[in-house]
């Protein structure tokens, strides 16, 4: 007995190291804050991309071991191994893919969420945390134009949000495994690949996928959609879902959502809208008409870590009929009986509307910046990015670049057709590589109609006009250099 209590005390002495006292907390916190301040002070000068990856090695050279280490040493590993090589997504020079954000108050929200560790899965134990999430989801539902009995879930990102929507749609359309092979989903060539991934995870990998043709601005052709659905019906297949995009990743194309909604209504299809990139542009007066029809959908995905500039780890799925989301995700377990009984008849909990049980308290990282700043600067930032993309597109055209469709949201596609007569695809591949090597801005590429094109996506909140103008200057400069080196090689 005495031996055991003695042992417990010994163990306690060591385990208490997990609870630093106020003085120690201040020491490590100050070191972390100093690190983050140093990062933010220099953010405009730090490269958007660093191709030297040698710093990564220090991580393995600093392994997990029995004894602890000094905070200063760990922060220097972090700087050299993680925060230097590769893409710097916090930089205003991140103009590739769909840029993310990193709002500072979000970091503070995460900090508070982690310190208090509020449980956001079930409303019985975390009524305030769940209510905060529900309030934010209601705000998004209102933006989309959904009715009051819509429901949703804050996810880790757009891919998981699309998966939740696909699973809900599958359940609501009553698809059974025997019929999966006949089930047809309609997408366009521009649909994000995470929808494919979601279909496969949902067991629908063997179902039929129809790629509906797009118009010259890469928008789904609703007439062609309807013909395809009718043809499939006649041949005995089961059309069940159509996926529209509100802002494609490639060029920011917005499908004609109203017309797709009409086709979906006529044929009883589940209408899903992937608005991961473009959805929050609905905050801008200039985009409201463009995005009209989102409210016609049965489910929609938005990514706060894109259009609301949050740090990575924030997606959202909304479903017009909350009950459908519940039917697809609700489970019972005996170890949850007290919790669920206490819940009966009350607000639904995230755990009943999503694949997750225990989860990060994601609401706080969104609530804090949104309420602290108000919506106005978010609206302004989105409109600013849209105008920046148009400016870039117009000026690139004036400077002799071949350009893709005029940007409707904030992505512009361009390419340089070399005067030397060299292969344009290879030339533009070398051009985007040269821009990355330079590092002041980071651009990505894609293939449109079989042609290699360079994309400029303005969505990082730190991207302002100087940086976008700089991106064009760098493109012109590198294109000239490449032309010269090709001429001298010829």
Ligand X SMILES: *Cc1c(COP(=O)(O)O)cnc(C)c1O
Q: Which of 471, 478, 477 has its CA nearest to residue 456?
A: 471
Q: Which of 385, 387, 190 has its CA nearest to residue 307?
A: 385
- When binding is defined by CB under 6 A, the residue of 251, 276, 370, 457 that contacts ligand X is 276
Q: Answer yes or no whether residue 98 interacts with ligand X by CB under 6 A.
A: yes
- Which tokens is 243 given? 């996926």
Q: Answer yes or no whether residue 188 interacts with ligand X by CB under 6 A.
A: no
Residue nearest to ligand X (CB): 158
The window from 151-159, 232-240, 380-388, 395-403 that contacts ligand X (CB under 6 A) reads 151-159
Strands (E), 161-275: 183-188, 208-212, 238-245, 270-275
Q: Answer yes or no whether residue 343 interacts with ligand X by CB under 6 A.
A: no
The window from 42-50, 108-116, 154-162, 435-443 that contacts ligand X (CB under 6 A) reads 154-162
Q: Which residues contact 381 (CB under 8 A, 6 or more apart)?
A: 309, 461
**d(C-alpha 458, C-alpha 370), whole Å:** 21
Q: Answer yes or no whether residue 274 interacts with ligand X by CB under 6 A.
A: yes
- When binding is defined by CB under 6 A, the residue of 94, 118, 170, 192 that contacts ligand X is 192
The window from 120-128, 270-278, 291-299, 364-372 that contacts ligand X (CB under 6 A) reads 270-278
Q: Which of 91, 44, 51 has its CA nearest to residue 458?
A: 91
Minimum distance from CB of 299 to ligand X (Å)? 13
Is the CB of 123 or the CB of 153 nearer to ligand X? Answer: 153
Q: Answer yes or no whether residue 196 interacts with ligand X by CB under 6 A.
A: no
Minimum distance from CB of 314 to ligand X (Å)? 8
Q: Answer yes or no whether residue 249 interacts with ligand X by CB under 6 A.
A: yes
Is the CB of 81 or the CB of 159 nearer to ligand X? Answer: 159
Residue 22 CB neighbour total at 10 angstroms = 7
Residue 371 to residues 144, 364, 392, Cα–Cα distance (Å): 19, 10, 32
Phi-psi region of 291 (alpha: psi -120 to 50; beta: other; left: phi over 0): alpha
- When binding is defined by CB under 6 A, the residue of 93, 99, 157, 279 that contacts ligand X is 157
3-state helix, strand, coil in the chain (%, to 5): 50, 15, 35
Is the CB of 168 or the CB of 248 nearer to ligand X? Answer: 248
**d(C-alpha 482, C-alpha 423), whole Å:** 12
> Quick check: 391 and 383 in contact, CB under 8 A?
no
Minimum distance from CB of 482 to ligand X (Å)? 30
Is the CB of 118 or the CB of 219 nearer to ligand X? Answer: 219
Q: Answer yes or no whether residue 296 interacts with ligand X by CB under 6 A.
A: no
DSSP 8-state symbol, 310? P
Which residues sit at the interface with ligand X, rule CB under 6 A? 98, 157-159, 192, 194, 245, 248-249, 274, 276-277, 303, 315
């Amino acid at each position: 007995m005495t031996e055991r209590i003695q042992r417990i005390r010994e163990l306690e002495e060591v385990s208490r190291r997990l609870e630093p006292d106020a003085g120690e907390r201040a020491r490590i916190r100050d070191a972390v804050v100093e690190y983050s301040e140093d990062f933010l002070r220099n953010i405009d000068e730090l490269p958007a991309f660093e191709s030297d990856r040698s710093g990564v090695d220090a991580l393995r050279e600093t392994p997990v071991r029995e004894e602890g280490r000094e905070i200063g040493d760990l922060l220097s590993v972090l700087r050299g191994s993680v925060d230097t090589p590769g893409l710097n997504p916090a930089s205003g020079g991140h103009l590739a893919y769909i840029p993310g954000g990193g709002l500072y108050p979000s970091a503070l929200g995460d900090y508070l969420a982690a310190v208090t560790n509020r449980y956001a899965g079930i409303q019985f134990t975390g009524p305030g945390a769940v209510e905060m999430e529900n309030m934010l989801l209601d705000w998004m539902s209102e933006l989309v134009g959904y009715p009051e009995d819509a429901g949703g879930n804050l996810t880790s990102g757009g891919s998981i949000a699309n998966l939740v929507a696909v699973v809900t749609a599958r359940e609501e359309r009553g698809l059974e495994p025997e019929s999966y092979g006949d089930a047809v989903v309609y997408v366009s060539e521009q649909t994000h690949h995470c929808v494919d991934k979601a279909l496969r995870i949902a067991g629908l990998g063997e179902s039929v996928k129809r790629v509906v043709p797009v118009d010259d601005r890469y928008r789904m052709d609703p007439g062609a959609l309807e013909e395809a659905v009718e043809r499939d019906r006649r041949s005995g297949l089961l059309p069940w879902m159509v996926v529209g995009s509100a802002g494609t990743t490639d060029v920011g194309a917005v499908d004609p959502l109203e017309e797709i909604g009409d086709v979906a209504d006529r044929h009883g299809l589940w209408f899903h809208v992937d608005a991961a990139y473009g959805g929050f542009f609905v905050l801008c007066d200039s985009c409201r008409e463009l995005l009209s029809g989102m409210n016609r959908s049965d489910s929609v995905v938005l990514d706060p870590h894109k259009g609301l500039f949050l740090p990575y780890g924030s997606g959202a799925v909304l479903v017009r009929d909350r009950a459908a989301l519940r039917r697809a995700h609700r489970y019972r377990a005996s170890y949850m009986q007290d919790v669920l009984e206490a819940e009966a008849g009350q607000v639904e909990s995230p755990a009943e509307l999503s694949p997750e049980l225990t989860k990060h308290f994601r609401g706080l990282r969104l609530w804090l910046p949104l309420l602290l700043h108000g919506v106005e600067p978010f609206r302004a930032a989105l409109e600013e990015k849209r105008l920046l993309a148009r400016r870039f597109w117009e000026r690139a055209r004036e400077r002799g670049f071949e350009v893709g469709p005029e940007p409707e949201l904030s992505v512009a596609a361009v390419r340089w057709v070399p005067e030397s007569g060299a292969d344009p695809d290879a030339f533009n591949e070398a051009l985007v590589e040269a821009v990355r090597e330079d590092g002041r801005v980071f651009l990505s590429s894609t293939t449109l109609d079989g042609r290699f094109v360079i994309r400029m996506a303005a969505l990082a909140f730190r991207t302002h006009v100087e940086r976008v103008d700089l991106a064009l200057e760098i493109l012109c400069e590198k294109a000239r250099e490449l032309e010269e080196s090709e001429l001298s090689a010829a």
